[in-house]
Amino acid sequence: ENGNVRLVSRQGKSWLGMVEIENALKESPYDNIVFDSEITILNPQNYPSKDVYKMTTKIVSTKDEEKHGLQLNCFDYMTLDEWNKQESEYPCIERKSQLEEIIKSINSPYLVYPIYGTSSLCYDYYITTSPICQYFISPFFGEIQKCVL
């Protein structure tokens, strides 16, 4: 938001010290965007999901000021104005297509659009929790985090 990066859970909890994710977002040309996303360890497709959850939780819950080895898995996005109104002029499927291009243009290993194909992770379970979008059910945390730029 206005050049500042905030990582916030759906419950409103701030996630601090995720420096690689924060720096990737700060260096991107995008501002005033909310990413519907989930934080996991880097390259989660290389591990069984139960291990990904444990490894991610260990890093996220540490008291260290800086937390390394995490990535932001982005599933959807909208502008900050749309997020605040809880209404988007674009259908979810169109936003997801645009999101894939946004993530590719940022070109950071810490921001990904998760399409894992044959990996052990399953990203095809969705529920509707908002009139504006379908939200992903995390195989790791059971919730979505949002990232506000």
Query: How does pLDDT run across 64-119, given as a tens digit for each residue?
Result: 899 999 999 998 899 889 988 988 888 888 888 899 899 999 999 999 987 543 33
Maximum distance among all Cα pairs of the chain, rounded to whole angstroms: 40
Residue 140 has pLDDT above 50, yes or no: no
Q: Does the pLDDT of residue 124 top 90, yes or no?
A: no
Three-state DSSP class for residue 53: helix
Q: Which pTM does this prediction carry?
A: 0.73
**CA 127 – CA 72 distance, rounded (Å):** 20
What number of CA atoms fall less than 13 Å from residue 145's CA on the CB side?
Answer: 20
Task: For residue 119, give both structure tokens.
Answer: 């990996």
